[in-house]
Chains A and B, each alone.
Chain A
Amino acid sequence: MTEATHVHPRHSVDEALTSPVRLSVVAALSRVDEVEFALLRDSIEISDSQMSKQISQLEAIRYVAVRKGHVGKRPRTWLSITPEGRVALQWHLAALRAIVDGDVAPQP
């Protein structure tokens, strides 16, 4: 009989989402289809430059999709979570809960 290999849940943590700001962005986006950049920035209370930097990083790993548009002459940036980002968030939150609960997740 083969012994099941167990792995500490910290190994399932997504490094990209260990930043509280990036985690806030992805978590907030998980509750909307699409949100304007400025509204999300105000909602999670961070600066414009910090928000831009985090969004660029999340876009680079395809957790967040960015859509540029215009309303009249005013440019607007729309943000949404990608399917990959939604899955990553679910796994990350599950790993965090496992760490808090002191669980050891079985490795397939």
Chain B
Amino acid sequence: MTNSHISSSDAAALLGTADDAISRGETASDRWWLGSVLSIALGILVGAFFLAAIYLFPTATGLEAFLLSLGYTVGIVVVTTVYNVFRRLTPIGWNVRYRRGLMITMGIFFVALALSFLVETRSPLLWVPLAVAAAIPVGVYGSMKAER
């Protein structure tokens, strides 16, 4: 739509209105920490589940394996539910950063899990850093703020 008759002072007033609204949007975006909490919690859950897969699952009974998986699932559901209940906005670019971090995390998780079938050692010097490496991407990407 075009052909509006706007004076210089009207234009200046509208620019002021836009700047004010943009800064209000940015101020509201200061609630970005909720996405960070979700991302870090998911990273910790993935890392913990990976360590459970290395150290507990091989010797676990069927019931124990079921309870471990249930605990992991409940953890995911609780974290995402809390996020969805309390979230009131998503900061600009967060969805893309979060998905990227989660993809890298899951990639490392599955590669490390595949490695566990090839390597016999259960030394924490190998598996704990891998668990941390799996946890970090989603936590870091999900906690990053948009560049202005």
Contacts and interface: CB of A to CB of B under 8 A. Distances in A.
Interface in A73-108: 89, 93, 95-97, 99-100, 102
Given A27-B22, A31-B92, A72-B85, A39 B28 contact: yes
A46 B9 CA distance: 23
A90 to B, nearest CB: 11
Contacts of B84: 71
Given A36-B89, A39-B88, A99 B26 contact: no
A12 interface: yes
B118 interface: no
A39 B27 CA distance: 12
Most buried by B among A36, A39, A99, A102: A99
Interface in B62-99: 84-85, 88-95
B2 A31 contact: no
A47 to B, nearest CB: 16
Interface residues on B, range: 35 or more
A44 B7 CA distance: 24
A41 B118 CA distance: 56
A31 B26 contact: yes
B12 interface: yes
A97 B11 CA distance: 7
B93 to A, nearest CB: 7
Contact of B29 (A23, A31, A38, A72): A31
A24 B3 contact: no
Contacts of B20: 24
Contacts of A95: 11
B1 A23 contact: no
Give the 3 A-B residue pairs with the shortest CB-CB distance, closest first. A31-B25, A15-B1, A27-B21
Interface of A: 10-18, 20, 23-25, 27-36, 38-40, 43-44, 71-72, 89, 93, 95-97, 99-100, 102
15 contacts: A17-B14, A24-B21, A27-B19, A27-B22, A28-B28, A30-B25, A31-B22, A34-B95, A40-B28, A44-B24, A71-B85, A96-B14, A97-B11, A99-B11, A102-B8
